[in-house]
Amino acid sequence: MKYVLFDVDGTLIDAVSNQRRVWGTWAERYGLDADEVYRVALRTRPMETFAQVAADRDPGECLALLHELEDEDVRSGVYGAFEGASELLQGLPPECWALVTSNYEHRVRGRFLRTGLPVPGLIVDAAAVEEGKPSPVPYLRAAEKLGAEPEDCLVIEDAPSGVRSGLRAGMTVWGVNAAVAVEGVHRHFVSLREAVPHILAFATGPRENAAA
């Protein structure tokens, strides 16, 4: 059996405007430049972001406010799934796919509910692992829970840290939703929509040359 492991934000759900709004509100609360904070947040994890843009603030307090704003955004924000996401997830056997996210499961479930996407039986979130992406741990944990060997797993990602995570886990990694391929991906698709038939073929049809 083949397995597909999906990143969420930027891969299945378009949350860019939501993330920008959350970080913008967070920055305003601390009197910081919203654009600069967002630029830092795009390339670092929250605690690293706080250290760079608000080193004089209590990081625990910073994180608590961020979580509060993100939870509120899940309840009231407008979310959209990328074209092809619903068709893709509904076309996969339920036992052969999972979500691997740096976010938290309750937020992912909330976003999926808002967009109507089917929720898988397994979500490996930030609370499930001690090391996040680009460590291989999140994707290896998902494979372990699915009873899958890494070489039988296809990772779908949009970001460099996620791509590195999948590659370090010894998995096939395809990139989506980017004009230029992320370094290291085995295949690149400008959009998720373009990748849908190939992902379904990997999971449900005769094995194709996944790295072609």
Report residue 75 CA to chain centroid gap. 19
- Contact predicate 176/163, CB 8 Å: no
Which residues is 98 bridged to in the sheet? 5
| Helix, strand, coil distribution of the chain in percent, nearest 5 | 50, 10, 35
- Contact predicate 100/128, CB 8 Å: no
Q: Report residue 171 as tokens.
A: 């998995």
3-state class (DSSP) for residue 44:
coil
How far is Cα 12 from Cα 91, in angstroms, rounded to an integer?
14
Instruction: Please list the active-site residues.
Output: 7, 9
